[in-house]
Structure 1
Amino acid sequence: MSDLYVVLTGILEDSFGIPRTEVGPTTRLSDLDMESLARAELSLILQDRLGFPMADVDVPGEATLADVVGLLRSLRAEASPAPAEEAR
């Protein structure tokens, strides 16, 4: 289980009352009754918790938790400076 998955399921539990034991990587946000407003709130919480921008990211309701983790991995990679830039 990746660190991003743990963060995501923790937010779902702490902020939305969805127990970690009731979700898995294939659980769709729509299965959790997360409408567009809840998904926007989730994006803002993730942005705050993880420290990289998500304001322009629209997480679709049909996305699975694994899809969201994949999106977070991509955003984290984009937000991290390339090794050559770190050396400067």
Structure 2
Amino acid sequence: MSTIHPRITDVLSRTFKVPVAEILPESTMDSLDMDSLAVAEFAVVLRETTGVELDSATLHRQTTLAALTEFLHASADGGAPVSNAR
């Protein structure tokens, strides 16, 4: 089982105070009330915890947690992650 989704959940709930019940695969940064600055901060925290660099094409307000998890999983496995185009 992937450890990526629990990391995302932990960061969102502890750092950004998002209620765990709202952290669903189909949730977007926008639906979690994360503005552009929060999304940028989230990218930094994820880079620090996963070692994966995220850019604005991959992580933006319309990115779903499922797409983010897939990207991080592919990057951690050394695969060629698919960009989450807007």
Q: TM-score, normalised by structure 1?
A: 0.76
Partner secondary structure for residue 29 of structure 1: coil
Shift of 1:28: 1.0
- Identify, as 1 or 2, the structure richer in helix: 1
- Write the distance in 2 (CA, Å) between the matches of 1:74 and 1:61: 21
Larger radius of gyration: 1
Q: TM-score, normalised by structure 2?
A: 0.78
How big is the alpha-carbon RMSD for the aligned residues of Structure 1 and Structure 2? 1.8
Range that drifts further, 7-16 or 29-38: 29-38
Whichever residue aligns with residue 15 of structure 1, its letter is T
How many equivalent pairs are there?
Answer: 77
Q: What does residue 37 of structure 1 align with?
A: 37
Q: What does residue 54 of structure 1 align with?
A: 53
Percent identity reads 27
Give unmatched runs, 5+ long, in structure 2.
80-86
Whichever residue aligns with residue 22 of structure 1, its letter is E
The correspondence of residues 1-40 of structure 1 with structure 2, limited to 5 A, is 2-40=2-40
Shift of 1:53: 3.6
Shift of 1:60: 1.7
Deviations, residues 13-55 of structure 1 (Å, cap 9, x unaligned)? 00000021222111111101212211111111011112x2415
Give unmatched runs, 5+ long, in structure 1.
80-88
Runs of 4 or more above 2 Å deviation: none
Deviations, residues 44-88 of structure 1 (Å, cap 9, x unaligned)? 1011112x2415x22121111101101111221338xxxxxxxxx
- Write the distance in 2 (CA, Å) between the matches of 1:3 and 1:19: 19
Distance 1:5 1:53, change over 3 A: closer
